[in-house]
Amino acid sequence: MKTRILFSAIAVFVFASGLMAQIEVLQNTNRDFSVNLTNGITDPVTYTWNASGAGITNSAAVNAITANTVNVTFGAAPSTGNLTVYGTANGCSGDNRTATINVVTTLTFGATFADASQTVCPQTTTNPTGGDAAATVVNFTGGNVTGISYTIDNGAAVSISFGANTSCFLDAATAFTNAQAGAHTIRIISITGESGTTSLFSAGTEPTHTINVTTAPEISNIF
């Protein structure tokens, strides 16, 4: 069953619980990292970040942030940095979440869509299943892959997992209407390999697939 996509901006989070996440990014780039509450707490939460290592060049700025999102800048490759965060509410602090970030000149994993684009009719009362993009094949390089994260129009990140393979079917759920006619972009923002390494793409380098939504006739009331 497809999951409906929420078209709201949200930063990507890639932190591990228990095992330390192994993440790689390109040198001399920056990106946002976020964490989300998972236990439904409604009290105000203060976040404590700790950035260290030669791979992160703006550690002081990161460590001063108390919100759930930080912007991290990476230096030259090869280098490594560590990013740790925990939340505090009602005077109680939670568990750490930690990511080790390796700064590299070339990401381990890459991807291409078998089809660069597709065209769909919008969802209307006479076409209630319209606006739904067809599944598309994604081919990977760099080894067996077990999961990806992607966005649609830079909205909320969606993660999917699958058996180790060099390709997958991406069946993104959409329900584009006439009001959303035009081009919409699926962007793969990260790829996780069988080894546990996650390659994060920099802005503008993500593998993309375009969904072109056509315009259906709109008519007046009967008179």
- pLDDT single digits (tens) 32-55: 999 999 998 999 999 999 999 999
> Is the bond into 78 cis (omega within 30 degrees of 0)?
yes
When mean pLDDT is compared across 28-42, 50-64, 109-123, 167-181, the lowest value belongs to 28-42
With cut-offs at 50, 70 and 90, classify the pLDDT of residue 25: very high
In tens, the pLDDT along 164-176 reads 999 999 999 999 9
CA-to-CA dists, residue 93 to 50, 53, 61, angstroms: 15, 24, 22
Return mean pLDDT, the chain: 91
Residue 100: phi and psi, rounded to 5, are -95, 130
Among 3.30.210.10, 2.60.40.10, 2.40.128.260, 3.40.50.1820, name the CATH number for the domain at 21-104. Answer: 2.60.40.10
Q: Where in the chain is the domain with CATH 2.60.40.10?
A: 21-104
Predicted pLDDT at 10? 32
Question: Does 3.40.190.80 match the CATH number of domain 110-194+203-213?
Answer: no
Q: How far apart are CA 118 and CA 133, in angstroms?
A: 8
Q: Write down the pLDDT at residue 13.
A: 44
Supply 121's token pair: 């009719």
pLDDT tens, residue by residue, 208-219: 999 999 999 999
The residues near 206 (Cβ < 8 Å, ≥ 6 apart) are 187, 188, 189
Q: Where in the chain is CATH 2.60.40.2030? A: 110-194+203-213
* Amino acid code (one letter) for 76: A
Q: Which of 53, 54, 56, 63 lies closest to 85 in space, CA to CA?
A: 63
